[in-house]
Amino acid sequence: MDQDRQKLIERARELNTSEFPVIELQERIREVCFEYLIEAKVDVDHLLGHEDWRVRSSALDMVWWGVGATDGIAASIEILMHDPDEDIRAEAALALYEAARGTPKETQVREAFRRVSAAAEAPEYLRAAALTYLGKLDHPSGQRRVGPGVGPVSE
């Protein structure tokens, strides 16, 4: 492994043990994703629980890319269901869809999407996003049936 990459990995590992200003956290999370620093074994769940929405948003990118020591699925579902920031909840839906496709966690994510799509208290756009991603998981080709006897249509 080259020395530059090793330095990036060490910087990323500091996310697990050190406190940084929000901007520094975001920068380091971007490095983990951009450089695909899976060797750093960053605790994604810890970052997803951060009090600042900007850090949670950046950490959702790690879930999407699958570069953490933890997969972040359970913590992302918690964000999808209960985060006070509705935009972060929508980001969680996309990250969960991308991270869970074709994995053993897909069933868990499907159930979360079903719960959100049926939750009257969830914003309409979040219910719609959950239904869309659920449909995409059901029909990965990007095609879905719209009713009995009706051919597939593009989404």
Q: What is the rounded average pLDDT of the residues 41-58?
A: 96
Once rounded to an integer, what is the mean pLDDT over residues 59-88?
93
Instruction: State how far the Cα of 147 lies from the Cα of 7, in Å rounded to an integer.
Output: 54
pLDDT of residue 102: 86
**61 occurs within a structural domain:** yes
- Give residue 152's pLDDT: 43
Return the percentage of the chain with pLDDT > 70, whole number.
90
Domain co-membership, 1 together with 58: yes
E strand or H helix at 143: strand 143-144
Question: Bridge-partner residues for 153, per DSSP?
Answer: 144
- State how beta strands 153-154 and 143-144 pair: antiparallel
Q: What secondary structure letter does DSSP report for 96?
A: H
Q: Does residue 152 lie within any of the structural domains?
A: no
Tell me whether residue 60 is in a domain: yes
Based on the fold, state whether residues 47 and 7 are members of the same structural domain.
yes
pLDDT digit string (tens) for 92-112?
Answer: 999 999 999 888 999 999 999
Record the pTM.
0.84
Does 62 lie in the same domain as 13? Answer: yes
Structural domains of the chain, count: 2
Which residue segment(s) compose the domain that 52 sits in? 1-70
In terms of domains, do 65 and 28 share one? yes
